[in-house]
Structure 1
């Protein structure tokens, strides 16, 4: 549940950012108290791990932020293998990925605070899943972040419960 905060204004921007943050927090909570090995394990029929979900959502949020800013994505632009976006590689750690996501969060919130209007739009890149010459608004992007992070928070909840019975929602 999105919690009302005195730090975030109750206007539309603040409300949308509060809901994005609630979903981020849901994923973070599924990682609490786990070792790197537990976070990387795949205890269910899915190929997903908690650390992989974390990496994916952090990088996905950065991707949408970079599209909205109309800037090059410094992370995804160098990736050769799509599956590498769903697992920690090399010296990547859960703590490091959480810190990375904190930076993305701060940048997303600062960017949204600075845009003149949530009606401002940006072009979507060419892709089979986007309409040709498609554009979306900042509002749409925030709602999409809620949707996308919430979907993966549900995955994370099931993975955590499969690991040790911990239920984030109860």
Structure 2
């Protein structure tokens, strides 16, 4: 594992995080929680979800499957709830939580053994015995962040015409 690989991973993460966060630039709290398409997704909810997702995968880098918990129903409920920006939340708080998690993840990317691997929890999409390296988990965080940045961009464009790119 080279310093260049770590640098590339960090640069890619930063780029997609920037695109995600850019979709929220200038939004009021009520706009950040507004559904602007047929989807239930909102800009604020997506940023909050990405923060939770990144936290769980960062936990996986250090603790393996334990980071996902042992109660699948509770995990699924928390997953669904992570997409919702509640009335008592502000976009500023959600962005601050995202930035703090990004810093923690970046520290791990700088130090973790990228070749270390851990078992994944048994789920319908991960059969028993499935293992991922830390490298693959980091790539998964990049992919999820990029995917949700695209979702947020569509939602923002439907809100007020603003686009992250193009």
Q: State the match for 2:9 in structure 1.
A: 16
Which moves more between the two structures, 153-162 or 130-139? 130-139
Q: State the match for 1:48 in structure 2.
A: 41
C-alpha displacement at 1:90, in angstroms?
Answer: 5.6
Write the distance in 2 (CA, Å) between the matches of 1:105 and 1:10: 19
User: Is residue 161 of structure 1 aligned with residue 157 of structure 2?
Assistant: yes
C-alpha displacement at 1:73, in angstroms?
Answer: 5.8
Q: Provide closer, same or farther for how the CA distance between residues 49 and 90 of structure 1 changes in structure 2, counting only shifts above 3 A.
A: closer
Aligned-partner SS, 1:89: coil
Residues 57 and 67 in structure 2, CA contact (< 8 A), matched pair in contact too: no
Aligned-pair RMSD on alpha carbons? 2.2
Provide the aligned length of Structure 1 versus Structure 2. Answer: 160
Of 52, 55, 63 in structure 2, the residue corresponding to residue 59 of structure 1 is 52
Residues 62 and 73 in structure 1, CA contact (< 8 A), matched pair in contact too: no
User: Is residue 149 of structure 1 aligned with residue 145 of structure 2?
Assistant: yes
Write the distance in 1 (CA, Å) between the matches of 2:108 and 2:162: 35
List gaps (5 residues or longer) in structure 2: none
List gaps (5 residues or longer) in structure 1: 1-8
What TM-score do the two structures reach when normalised by structure 2? 0.87
Higher relative contact order (CA 8 A, sep 6+): 2
Of 11, 31, 53 in structure 2, the residue corresponding to residue 38 of structure 1 is 31
C-alpha displacement at 1:82, in angstroms?
Answer: 4.1
Which moves more between the two structures, 128-137 or 83-92? 83-92
Q: Which protein has the bigger helix share?
A: 2
